[in-house]
Structure 1
Amino acid sequence: MSAPAIDHRIVEALVQTWLPHAKGRRLLLVYGRYTDSAGSFVVSTDRTANPVRRRVHVSDQHSVLGIVEAWEEHQQAHEADDDLLVVTTSVDDSQLGWDIRGYAIGRSTRTVDKVRIVAQRFGAVDVDPRIRQEPWLVDALLDAEPADGWPRNGSVLTRDSAIRALIGARLGQDTIGEGSLDVSALLEFSRDPAGPAYFAELPAAERDGLTRWLADTVGPAAVVPLRLAVQGRAADAIPLGVVGTAATNPDAALAVGALLPGTQAEELRAFTDAVAAVLERWVSEAETSRHGDAARHRVLDVVRRADELATQAQVTEALAGNPFLPSAFTVRLRELAAALTAKPDPTSLAEAERALDRVREHALARLEPRRREAAEMAVRLQRWLARPQPELTSVAEAVTGHLSEWAWVDRALNTLWEGDPFGDPVVGQAYRTVCEAVRARRTALDEDFATRLATWVKHADSTDTGGCLLVEQVLGEVAAPLRGKLAPLIVVLDGMSGAVAVELGQRLAGRAWTEVSPVAGRRAAAVAAIPSVTRASRASLLTGAITAGDQAAEKDGFKALWKRHGDPKAELFHRGDIAGDAGHRLSDPLLAALSESGSVVGVVLNTIDYALDHGQEGHRTGWAPEDITYLPELLDAARSYGRPVVLVSDHGHVLDRATEDRVDAGGVESARWRTGTPDDGEMALTGPRVVYGEGSVVVPWREDIRYTTRKAGYHGGASLAELTVPVLVLLPAPARAPSGWHVLEPEQLTPKWWTRQTAATPAAEPKPRARKPSKPSDAVPLFTVESKAESLGNRVVASGTYDAQRAFVPKAPNKQVVAAVIDALVAADNRLPLSTAAELAGKAGRRPEFFATMLERLLNVDGYPVLSKVDGDRRLKLDVETLRMQFGVREP
C-alpha cells in the first residue's frame, strides 16, 4: 500500500496533536508522502488568545539514510532553537533503528487518521460515522479549510454541518453558505462566472458527492445548475429554466432534452418551478425595491437570453404562453391588437378584456409599464367607444361633461397616440385604429359644442352665464368661500387641460389631501375667455373680470379683487418671483406670504404652457405633480401651514396632431385664432366674452388646424379641450370642507368605463315562510363575483398554504369573507377601495385598517407583497400572479 499524500495542513494538524506529548523531542516521523511546496512554516499549538507558536520544517525522505541525514542536519542548523523537524516517509518502523526512533515523538512513526484530523480542525471530539464512509468528503475538508479555520460546531461534527461548511468554502459563503442554502441561492450562484468554474474544477468524486447531498437537501432542482456548471453552461441556467417549460409540449420535448441532456423529468419540473419563483421574486423587487433598476435589468437579461435559446432550439411557438419571455409578451399584445381591430361591441370588448388580462398577467407588463399602460388605455377607449354617442344640450353641460368624462378620453388618447413603446407594427396598427375612431367621435363632439358655443357667446356674461361657471368667476365663487382663518393658496397652472387635470387629481388623491367641490359629485369647470389665450384668459381669471393684460395688470387686478373680498394683503407671484436663493427652493417673500395664513397667496406656474411652446409636451404621455416645477414644494408648504389649495387653469390646450402644414389664412393673430371669414373647421365668435378682434374672432374648433409654425401644442381655439378650465380644490386632511361643499371620492370622479365594471348584486330572494333563516355570519357581497367553488378566492382559501398562514393569525375572518374580497379585487382590476372591502367583510370589517392588516398577514406569504395598501392606505391592491404562485393555485 502506497504512503498517503500529505500537505502542510495535515502536517499542521499532526503537530498540533502530538506536540503536547513531545517531552522535549524535536523530531516527528509521519507515514506519508509530502506533496506540498511549503518546506517551513509556523504552527500554532492551539487556537486560544495566546497560542504557542513553533516553526516546523518538513523533509520528505523514503530511505533510512535520508531520514538520519535530515535529522542530523536539523540538529546542527537549529541547535540554538526549538524548531521542529517533521519527516514524511514510507519506511516502516521495523527498518528504523532504535537510535533514530528514540529521538522521535512517540518513539515511532505516526500514521495519519484524516477523519480524526478533520474533527480536530472543527474543534470536535467525535465525528458522524457517515463521514468515515465518504473519503471524498474527508479529503475535501482537509483541502478546503479556510485561512481562519473551520467554524466550531460542537463536540460532534455531523455530516450535514461538514458539507455545509465545505460548500461555503468551495462555492462562496455569501452565496450559498450556511443559512442561505436553497435552489434560489444555487441559481444566483450560477450567474457568477467564478463559482461554477471553480466547481467544475473540483475532483469528480467531490462534485458528485456535493451534488447528491444538495439534491437530497434542497431538492432535485439542484442537480440541473450543477450539471450545467460542469458543462461550462452555468450562465444559461436560469434562461434554460425558462425554456425548459416547453417540455410539456410533446413537439418541443425533444429539443428541450437536447438543451438539458441527462435531466430527468422530476428534476426538470422542479428546476423550472424554481426558476419561475426566482424570476417572480426579481420582478417584485424591480417593482418595490430601492434597487429596482438593477433587478429589472437582471430579469430582462435573463428572459432575452431565454428567447435567444428558444429561437435556436425552435421552440418559441411552444412557449407562447410563458409568463416571462418577451416573445410570449408580444404574442399576448398581438392577441389584444386583434381584439381591438374589431368593431366595439359586447363580444369584441369581452375578448379585448380577456386579452388585456393576459397582458397584465405577464411579468414584463410589470417591468415595462409604458407598454402595459398603452394596452390599458386602448381597452379603456374601446369601452368608451362601445357606449352610445354623447349628445350635448348646452355649453354648460359640454364643459362639465368634458371634465367629468371626455378629458379622461383625451388622457387615454394622449398615451395611446404615442403607440407601442417597442414599435411593434401589429400592435401599433391596432392602436392607430382605436385612435382614429376616438378622434372621429371627439371631433363630432367638438363640432356640436362649437355650434352651441356660437349662440351662447353672443350673450354670455356674468349676468347671463347660461348655467356656466366663467373663468372670471372662479376666484370669487370657488376660492373666496375657502377663506377663513387659513386662506387658500391659488396655483394657476397655465395651460392645464382637462386631461392633465384629471391625471394630477388622480395622482394627488390620498397624498394627505382631501378633494372637495362646491358641486356634488364632480369638480367645478369654467369656460375660458375667447380667444383662449393666456393674455386674455389668465388676466380674466386673476382679476375677476373679462380683460386682457400682462403680469403687472394681473398683480394689480389680483390685489384689487381680494381687497373687495376683505383681504388687502393678498399677493400674486409669477415665475420670476418664485425661485429662492442658494440652498432654498422657494423665495423668502413667497415663504413669508405663505406663513401669513390669513391672506390669499396666488402663484402662476408656466411649466405646461412652456412645454407646449418648446416641444416637450408632444413626447409626454402624462403629467405628475413632480413634473411641474415648484408644484410639489408649494403643496408641501401649503400643507405645513394648513392652507387649502386651488389648482386652476386659465385655459386648456390641444396637442400637435396635424398631418399637414399650417393653414394659410388672413388675419392671423396667433396659432389658433384670427380675424376674417371662417372656413371649414372654423367658427366666427362674437360677443361680450370675446376679448380681441373688437369683439369678433375666427377660431378653429377642429384640433388639427393651426396658423403658425409647428409646436408641441396650441391654445386659443374653440375646442372643448381649450375652452374648459379645470378647478381642483384640495384640503389638507383632516380639514373640514366649507358648509354646503362636498367631499369627492376618487370613485365619483372616475368614469365608469375607465375600469372594468362588474354586474350589480342581484336582489335577495324573499325569505321562506316555512322557517326563519339562520343569521348570516357576514355581509352579502357588493359585487357579483365568481360564486363557484373554483373561483380564485375559494381555491386560495382551500389551499394548504392558506391553512398554514391562518394558523398564525388569531381571530382571522372566515374563509368565505377572504374569498369574497379576493374575487372582488380580481373583478375590479385588482384594486378595491378599503371601504368596499370592509363592507364585503360585514362585521369582520368594522375596523377597516385592522381588517386590511389581517388580510395582509393571511396572504403575504414569506413577506411577498401579494396584497398591499396603496393610495394613502385608502385602497387595496392585489398581485394576482404572486397570489397564484404563493398559494399554488394555477389558472383554471
Structure 2
Amino acid sequence: MPTRPTAGRRAIEVLLQAELPRGEGRRLVLVDAVYDTGDQEAEQEFTVRVDGRNRRVRVTDQDSVLGIVDAWQRHSTEEDPDGDDILVVTGTVPGDQLGWDLRAHAVRRRPLAVDRADIVRQLFAATDLDTRMIGETWLLDALLDAEPVNGWPRAGTLLTRDRAVRALLAARLRLGDTTADTLDLDADTLFAWSRTPSGPALFAALPATERAGLSEWLTRAIGPAAPVLLALAAEKRGADALPMGVLASAVLSSATAEAAGFALGALFGSAFDSYDALRPFADAATGVLTRWIAQAESSGPQHTEMRDRVFAVLDRADQLATESRLTGQIGADRLLPSGYLSRLRALAATLDGPAAPAEAALRELTEHQLANLNATSTETARTAVRLVRWLNTPLPDTESTARAVHRHLASSCWADVGTAVLAEGDISRDTAVGQAYHRLIGAVRARRARLDETFARKLAVWTETASQQAPGGALLIEDVLAEAAAPLARDGGRPLVLVLDGMSADVAVQLAGALDRRAWTEVVPKPPPGAEVTRQAAVSMLPSLTTVSRASLLCGKPTEGGQSAERAGFTALWKKRHREARLFHKGGYEGPPGHRLAPELLESLASDAIVGVVLNTIDDALADGREGARGRWTPDDIGKLPDLLNAARDYGRPVVLVSDHGHVLDRTPRDSRPTETNRSEETDRAEGARWRTGPAGDGEIELAGPRVRTAGGRITAAWREDLRHSARQAGYHGGASLAEVTVPVITLVPSAGLIPAGWTLLPPERTAPDWWNGDEATPLPPQPHVPVPEPRETEPDRRALETTRPRPVAAPRTPTTGERTVQTPQYRAQREFVRLAPGDKAVAAVLDALLEAGGKLSPGAVAAAAQGATGKSQRNPERFVTVLERLLNIDGYPVLQLVESGRTVQLDKALLHQQFPGDQT
C-alpha cells in the first residue's frame, strides 16, 4: 500500500475554504491524507471561516472503514442547531473501500486529495507556481507549517522558488522580513544573524530535511561560507560562528597551519570537512569583521556599540584560541586583539635602541586592523617612537638663553608632551609594555636633565646683566605685551590677552594644536630672510613665580605684586599707548547663574578697550593633583577658555595666549622622599618649592642680577625636576629649568584681515618638530631664497681674472612640474578668465609643494609656499586657495580643492596631468 501524504491543520483549513462553498451543504469531508497532529491529540477541533461565517470543524484520523462510519454516525446524530459543524476524516483507508452510502454524504462524494503545491499557491494568492517547487515536499510542508498569523504576503502572478524560500527564512529564522519583496542576503547578514539570541537555535530546531533544503539554498545565494556556518548553527554553536571563522583565518594564514589541523578539527567538529571547505568560511568571516571595523572607525567615539560589537567577536576568538591551544599558531595576527598586543610588545622591545627598528615596529602596529579602534594605545605607541627619535638626535648646543627657550618651545617641550602621554600608561595594562615605557621615560628625563643643566649655567651668566635695556637677544616677559599684543592693537585693533597662569610650553603647544583652524589662524612675526617662522618664547622673571613674573608681564616692567598692582599696571601700560584697558581676574569674568561670562566682561569685549583675563586653572591643578593623573590638555580643560575664545571671535578680537611661567611635574614615586641637597641649615633657607637662599647643591644653580626680584637679588634655584623644598603636590614652579623659565606666546587672529603688518601666518605643519612627525611629516614648502652677494673685487683684479679664468657654464635646470604646468596652453587659456590670478611663480611653487607633500597641505602651508617663491604674503589663505581652484579646475574637474571642512588643500596628481598634459616630460 503506498504511503499516504500528510496534512496539517493549515492544509485542512485551505482545503475546506476551497471546497465547502461548493459542497451543497454537506458536512462530511473525506481527505486522502494522514492528519499531522504534531504533539496534539488525534482528534482536534477548530473553527474555519468560510463565506463570511465561522464553521466548527472536528478532525479525526481513522485507519478502518468501520472507524470512519462510526465517526460519521456520531457526528450526524449530535445536536447541531445551525447545521454548520463539519467532520473531516483523514487516514489510510483507500477511497475505493468506502461504500456509496457513506460517500454520498461527503463533499464531492469522494476523498479529496491534498495538493500542497496548490495550497501554497493559494496562500500566496499567486496565479501560478514555480514548477521547481511542485516536487519539493520539504519546502511545501514548511510553507504550510510556517504561515504567519497574518498570512503570507501576496506574491503576484508567479510565486518563484526564491521568493518562497526568502519568505520561509523570514518566518522560520527571523532572517529578513516576510513582507519585503526582496531579501538582501550576504555573508554580513548571515553572520550578523548567527549572533542574534534566537537565530541559530531556531535553525537547530527545524526538521533535518528543512535544514538541508535551506542550507542548499543559502549556499547558492551566499557562497561556500554558508554550509560551515549553518552546520555550526545546527549544533547550537551559531553564536561562535564568526569568532571561529576569524580564528580559522588566523590559523590558516600562519606558517604552522598544517600542524594546527587536529586542533581545528576538534574545534569545528562535524562542521570541519576539509581545509578547502574551511577557507571560504574563514575568508568570509574576516571580510565581515573588516567591514564592521570600518563601520566602527567611521562611527565616531561617541558610538561605542559598533566598537563593542567588533571586540565581542574578537575577544571570543582569542578565548577560543586559548581553549583550543591555538594561541601559539596565530602569533601576531593582523586582526585578533592578541595579535595587536603581540605587535605592541614587539614595539616595546625596540624602545631602548636606535629609531629604525622602533619605526619598523610602529609600522607593523599601525598596519594591524585594530590600530584605529585602539586609537589611544596606538597613539601612545606612536608617541613612544617619537621620543626614541628625539633621543637619537644630536644634543643641541645651548648658545644662549634666548636660543634655548626658543628651541625648547619648538622642540624639547614636545619631549615633555610625549613624557606626559607615556606617564599615563598603556590602556592594555600589559606589564612588558608598561616597563618599556617606564624605561623610556627615564631616558628622556635623563636627557632633559642634561639640557636643563646646560641651560641653567647659561641662564646664570645671562641673568647677571640682562635687563629691558640689554635683553641679550631674549624676549623678556615684561616686553611680551609690547612685542605680541601691541602690534595687534595698531589702527584700533582690540586684542584679548589671556594669561594662563603656570602654562608651560608643552601645555601651550597642546592647547594651540587643539584649536579649530577654521576659526583661528596662528600668526608670528616675520622672520629675517632665510630664517624659518617660529613661535615667540619669552624668559620669565626669577624666581619663576606668579608674584613677580605675572606682575611684570601685565605691567610691562620688572615688578612684583598682587592683583591690584597688576590691574593698575595693565591700565597704565595701555594708557601710554592711548588705549583704555581692563583686566579681569578669577571671580571677575565668571558669569552669574544663567550667564556663561560676566556681563561686565562682555561689555568690555564689545568696547574698544584692550581686555586681559587671567586664568588660574593650570596653576591650581599643580596643587590639587590634576596634573599628576593626566598630563594632556585641551581648551575644554581650562575653565572658561572656550567661552572666552568664542566671545573673542564673535567680537572680532585677536587673542594672545601667554603664560607668566611654566612648571615641572612631580613624577617621583609616591612613597619616596624629596631629593635632599647639600646645604647648611645655618646659611640657607627654603623660600619656595623650587628655590631658596644659600650655596647651590647638586641639581641647583645660583642666580643673581637685575632679573632676580626677591631675596636681595640672589637665589639658589633648582634645575633638576625631582628637587623640591615643600610638601608633595602634582607639580611645582620657581626653579631654573627650561620648563619653568620658558614663557610661550601664542598669537591668534579670527580673520586674515587682522594679521598685523610685519607678521605672517604660521602653517600647522611648522608647529611641531620633524622628529615628532617622523615618517608622517609633511614636507614643508621651501623658504624664500636669499642670494648671498659675493665679495667685491677691485676692477683690475676682475679684468685679470677674466683673462685667466674660464667662465663657468651653468648646467641646464629641469623645470619642475609646477613650472611646466603654468606654461601649458591649457593653463594660459584658463588664466585669461580668472580675475586677479596669482603670478606663475606662486602657482608653480604651490603645485610643487603639494606634490612633494603627497598631495595635501594646510591652506597656511600653501600660502607659505607662494610667499616663499615671491616674497609676497598671502593674508587670506582660504581666498588664495579659492582663486587657485578657479585657475586649475577646468570644466569643474577637482584638480585642487579644499577638503576636511576647509582644513586641508588636496591636489589630484592624476587629474593635474590629465588637464594640463603639457606638464609631463
Could you state the TM-score of these two structures normalised by the residue count of structure 1?
A: 0.82
- The aligned counterpart of 1:197 is 201
- Aligned counterpart for 1:253 among listed residues 251, 261, 272: 261
Distance 1:600 1:760, change over 3 A: closer
Residue 847 of structure 1 and its aligned partner are, at CA, apart by 6.7
Q: Is the 8 A contact 2:33 2:90 kept in 1?
A: yes
Distance 1:164 1:331, change over 3 A: same
- Aligned counterpart for 2:451 among listed residues 432, 445, 448: 445
Write the deviation string for residues 437-460 of structure 1: whole angstroms up to 9, x where unpaired.
322221111111111111222222
* Aligned partner letter, 2:623: D
Distance 1:11 1:776, change over 3 A: farther
- Aligned counterpart for 2:230 among listed residues 217, 222, 226: 226
Write the deviation string for residues 750-790 of structure 1: whole angstroms up to 9, x where unpaired.
211112248989x9x98899xx999999899xxxxxxxxxx
Q: Is the 8 A contact 2:521 2:761 kept in 1?
A: yes
- The aligned counterpart of 1:32 is 33
In structure 2, distance between residues paired with 1:353 and 1:263:
43
- Aligned counterpart for 2:426 among listed residues 410, 417, 420: 420
Residue 52 of structure 1 and its aligned partner are, at CA, apart by 3.2
Q: Is the 8 A contact 1:835 1:848 kept in 2?
A: no
- The aligned counterpart of 2:12 is 11
Q: How well do the aligned residues superpose, as a CA RMSD in angstroms?
A: 3.9
Please state if 1:331 is matched with 2:342. yes
> Pairwise mapping of residues 262-301 of structure 1 onto structure 2 (< 5 A)?
262-289=272-299, 292-301=303-312
Distance 1:718 1:774, change over 3 A: closer
> Pairwise mapping of residues 436-475 of structure 1 onto structure 2 (< 5 A)?
436-475=442-481
Please state if 1:531 is matched with 2:536. no
Q: Is the 8 A contact 1:454 1:684 kept in 2?
A: yes
Residue 315 of structure 1 and its aligned partner are, at CA, apart by 2.6
Q: Is the 8 A contact 2:169 2:176 kept in 1?
A: no
Q: Is the 8 A contact 1:175 1:189 kept in 2?
A: no
Please state if 1:558 is matched with 2:570. yes
Distance 1:514 1:773, change over 3 A: closer
Residue 397 of structure 1 and its aligned partner are, at CA, apart by 0.7
Distance 1:102 1:492, change over 3 A: farther
Q: Is the 8 A contact 1:647 1:729 kept in 2?
A: yes
Q: Is the 8 A contact 1:54 1:83 kept in 2?
A: no
In structure 2, distance between residues paired with 1:516 and 1:324:
44
Distance 1:688 1:259, change over 3 A: same
In structure 2, distance between residues paired with 1:455 and 1:322:
57
Residue 590 of structure 1 and its aligned partner are, at CA, apart by 3.0
Stretch deviating more after TM superposition (643-652 or 550-559): 550-559
Q: Is the 8 A contact 1:488 1:600 kept in 2?
A: yes
Q: Is the 8 A contact 2:215 2:226 kept in 1?
A: yes
Please state if 1:747 is matched with 2:752. no
Structure with higher Rg: it is 2
* Aligned partner letter, 1:266: D
In structure 2, distance between residues paired with 1:588 and 1:27:
93
Residue 71 of structure 1 and its aligned partner are, at CA, apart by 7.3
Q: Equivalent residue of 2:695, what SS?
A: coil
- The aligned counterpart of 1:861 is none
Distance 1:649 1:81, change over 3 A: farther
Residue 257 of structure 1 and its aligned partner are, at CA, apart by 2.9
Distance 1:551 1:76, change over 3 A: farther
Write the deviation string for residues 201-240 of structure 1: whole angstroms up to 9, x where unpaired.
1111111111111111111112222111122222222221
Please state if 1:506 is matched with 2:513. yes
- The aligned counterpart of 1:434 is 440
- The aligned counterpart of 2:712 is 694
Please state if 1:608 is matched with 2:604. no
- Aligned counterpart for 2:219 among listed residues 191, 204, 215: 215
> Pairwise mapping of residues 19-168 of structure 1 onto structure 2 (< 5 A)?
19-36=20-37, 37=40, 39-43=44-48, 52-62=52-62, 63=65, 66=68, 69-70=71-72, 73=75, 77-80=79-82, 82=84, 85-98=87-100, 101-168=103-170
Q: Is the 8 A contact 2:68 2:89 kept in 1?
A: no
- The aligned counterpart of 2:323 is 312
- The aligned counterpart of 2:878 is none
- The aligned counterpart of 1:681 is 699
Q: Is the 8 A contact 1:486 1:597 kept in 2?
A: no
- The aligned counterpart of 2:360 is 354
Q: Is the 8 A contact 1:243 1:256 kept in 2?
A: no
Write the deviation string for residues 299-352 of structure 1: whole angstroms up to 9, x where unpaired.
22322222222223333232123112232222212322332222x3xxxx2222
- The aligned counterpart of 1:244 is 248
Write the deviation string for residues 247-273 of structure 1: whole angstroms up to 9, x where unpaired.
243322332233224243333222222
In structure 1, distance between residues paired with 2:816 and 2:583:
67
- Aligned counterpart for 2:396 among listed residues 390, 401, 404: 390
- The aligned counterpart of 1:476 is 482
Stretch deviating more after TM superposition (30-39 or 364-373): 30-39
In structure 2, distance between residues paired with 1:823 and 1:251:
49
Distance 1:586 1:774, change over 3 A: closer
* Aligned partner letter, 1:80: D
Q: Is the 8 A contact 2:474 2:539 kept in 1?
A: yes
Write the deviation string for residues 279-316 of structure 1: whole angstroms up to 9, x where unpaired.
22332333331563222222223222222222233332
Q: How many corresponding residue pairs?
A: 808
- The aligned counterpart of 1:577 is 588
- Aligned counterpart for 2:333 among listed residues 322, 332, 349: 322
Q: Equivalent residue of 1:487, what SS?
A: coil
- The aligned counterpart of 1:497 is 504
Stretch deviating more after TM superposition (743-752 or 332-341): 332-341
Residue 581 of structure 1 and its aligned partner are, at CA, apart by 3.8
Q: Is the 8 A contact 1:56 1:86 kept in 2?
A: no
Distance 1:184 1:597, change over 3 A: farther
Write the deviation string for residues 685-735 of structure 1: whole angstroms up to 9, x where unpaired.
222222222322221111111111111111111111111111112222454
In structure 1, distance between residues paired with 2:818 and 2:569:
66
Stretch deviating more after TM superposition (12-21 or 741-750): 12-21
Distance 1:774 1:500, change over 3 A: closer
Write the deviation string for residues 580-627 of structure 1: whole angstroms up to 9, x where unpaired.
344443333333333x15333322222222221111112214112222
Distance 1:731 1:95, change over 3 A: same
Residue 655 of structure 1 and its aligned partner are, at CA, apart by 0.9
Q: Equivalent residue of 2:639, what SS?
A: coil
Distance 1:341 1:24, change over 3 A: same
In structure 1, distance between residues paired with 2:722 and 2:484:
33
Write the deviation string for residues 65-92 of structure 1: whole angstroms up to 9, x where unpaired.
6567557647854423756554445444
* Aligned partner letter, 2:407: G
Structure 2 regions of 5+ residues with no counterpart?
Answer: 528-532, 783-809, 824-847, 866-880, 909-921
* Aligned partner letter, 1:303: L
Could you state the TM-score of these two structures normalised by the residue count of structure 2?
A: 0.80
In structure 2, distance between residues paired with 1:545 and 1:55:
105
Write the deviation string for residues 548-573 of structure 1: whole angstroms up to 9, x where unpaired.
222333333333333333332x3333
Q: Is the 8 A contact 1:597 1:641 kept in 2?
A: no
Distance 1:474 1:92, change over 3 A: same
Stretch deviating more after TM superposition (399-408 or 638-647): 638-647
In structure 2, distance between residues paired with 1:486 and 1:739:
12
In structure 2, distance between residues paired with 1:269 and 1:211:
18
- Aligned counterpart for 1:720 among listed residues 730, 738, 750: 738
Distance 1:7 1:612, change over 3 A: same
Q: Is the 8 A contact 1:716 1:722 kept in 2?
A: yes
